């Protein structure tokens, strides 16, 4: 199986969007289009070799649920926390503008790193 790239995602999105306008798409194609819209910004950042993923304040990113993450606020401040404990709704007055997943560290049988 070939790895999905930003270019392929962009091309597929453009095709699907043109089909929506001309003849419509199936529910399966609509779900694929939604998945591509979610994946495209992440693929673009991976290809630029950046590990920060821009966040526009919508839903909590699915990839970070249950993971340790760092968030970068508009102020430049960086906070490291378990994703479930972060205030993604910005109720603290801080504006989250990007996040990145902290890679899990391998542990031995005793749970030590």
Let me know whether 38 and 67 are in one domain: no
Whole-number pLDDT of residue 62: 73
Instruction: State the Cα–Cα distance between residues 95 and 48, nearest whole angstrom.
Output: 24
From 93, 89, 83, 30, select the one nearest 12 (Cα to Cα): 30
Q: Would you say residue 109 lies in a domain?
A: no
Mark whether 70 and 43 lie in a shared domain: no
User: Residue 27's pLDDT is what?
Assistant: 94
Is the residue at 63 inside a domain?
A: yes
How high is the mean pLDDT of the chain? 79
Q: What is the DSSP annotation of 35-104? A: HHHHHHHHHHHHHTT---EE--SSSPPGGGTTSEEEEEETTS-EEEEEGGGS-TT-TTS--EEEEEEPPP
> Is 106 part of any domain?
no
- How far apart CA 51 and CA 72 sit, in angstroms, is 12
Q: Of 49, 42, 95, give the one whose Cα is nearest residue 71.
A: 95
Q: Supply angle C-alpha 8, 42, 22, rounded to 5.
A: 45
Q: Which domain holds residue 68?
A: 53-101
Q: Are residues 15 and 32 in the same domain?
A: yes
Do 95 and 57 have their domain in common? Answer: yes
Report how many domains make up the chain. Answer: 2
pLDDT given for residue 99 in this prediction:
82
**pLDDT at 51 (0 to 100):** 75
Q: Do 59 and 97 belong together in one domain? A: yes
- Which tens digits make up the pLDDT trace of 87-106? 666 555 677 788 887 776 55
Query: Would you say residue 86 has pLDDT above 90?
Result: no
Q: Which pLDDT score, from 0 to 100, does residue 106 have?
A: 53
Residues 93 and 62 in one domain: yes
pLDDT for 50-80, tens place per residue?
677 787 777 777 777 788 888 888 777 888 8
Instruction: Provide the pLDDT for residue 23.
Output: 92
Q: What is the mean pLDDT of residues 35-60?
A: 77
* N-term to C-term CA, the chain: 34
């Amino acid at each position: 199986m070939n790895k999905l790239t930003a270019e392929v995602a962009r091309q597929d999105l453009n095709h699907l969007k043109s089909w929506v306008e001309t003849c419509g798409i199936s529910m399966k194609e609509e779900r694929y289009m939604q998945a591509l819209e979610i994946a495209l910004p992440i693929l673009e950042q991976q290809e630029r070799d950046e590990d920060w993923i821009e966040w526009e304040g919508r839903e909590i990113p699915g990839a970070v649920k249950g993971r340790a993450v760092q968030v970068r606020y508009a102020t430049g401040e960086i906070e490291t926390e378990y994703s479930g404990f972060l205030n993604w709704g910005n109720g603290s007055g801080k504006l989250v503008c990007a996040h990145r997943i902290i890679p899990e560290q391998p542990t031995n049988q005793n749970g030590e790193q």
